[in-house]
Amino acid sequence: MLCQCFTLPLNVIATRQQTSSSKSQESIVDVIREIIEIDGILGLWKGFKPTMVLCINPAITYGVFERTKTMLLERKSKNTDITSAYLLPSEAFAAGALSKTLATVVTYPYITAKTRLMWRPSKEEVEKFGEDVIYKDTTDVLKKTFKIAGVAGLYKVKF
């Protein structure tokens, strides 16, 4: 979480550069200047709250993995007389894949919210969607995104 406090401005700058609708890429200095002019210095930390929520992703992954591992080991010990303390590589892979998938499905709407808070909509996007693409906070992003695109919209960055 502490690391995010220092690296989030770089993420905001990169997101702005990557999602810029202008044909010529602006320099980092130009992007920083624009962010500060429009949003103030705190604009460099747009998306801070969902970024902090996303720090829970590894904890979900770890928790689900450990629970899955325990269930698999208990099931193995019921089927044999030998108590095994280890998973087979294939079992560990499956448990890890399941755990990471679940953690990602749960937290992905916050990735969408973070990116949309960092992003600046083009004039065309504002004309098309109006105030629905101008966001105040994480809850605002999630509500407006759901309104426009439903649940599927929470799992994609652009409409």
pLDDT per residue as tens, the chain (159 positions): 999 999 999 999 999 988 876 666 788 999 999 999 999 999 999 999 999 999 999 999 999 999 999 999 988 888 776 667 789 999 999 999 999 999 999 999 999 999 999 988 888 888 988 888 899 999 999 999 999 899 999 998 666
Of the candidates 121, 58, 123, the one whose C-alpha atom is nearest the C-alpha of residue 145 is: 121
26 alpha carbon, distance to own chain's centre:
25
CATH of region 2-153, choose from 3.40.50.2300, 3.30.70.1230, 3.20.20.70, 1.50.40.10: 1.50.40.10
Angle made by CA atoms 37, 38, 39, in degrees to the nearest 5: 105
Give 26's DSSP letter: P
Angle made by CA atoms 154, 6, 8, in degrees to the nearest 5: 20
Give 41's DSSP letter: G
pTM of the complete model: 0.78
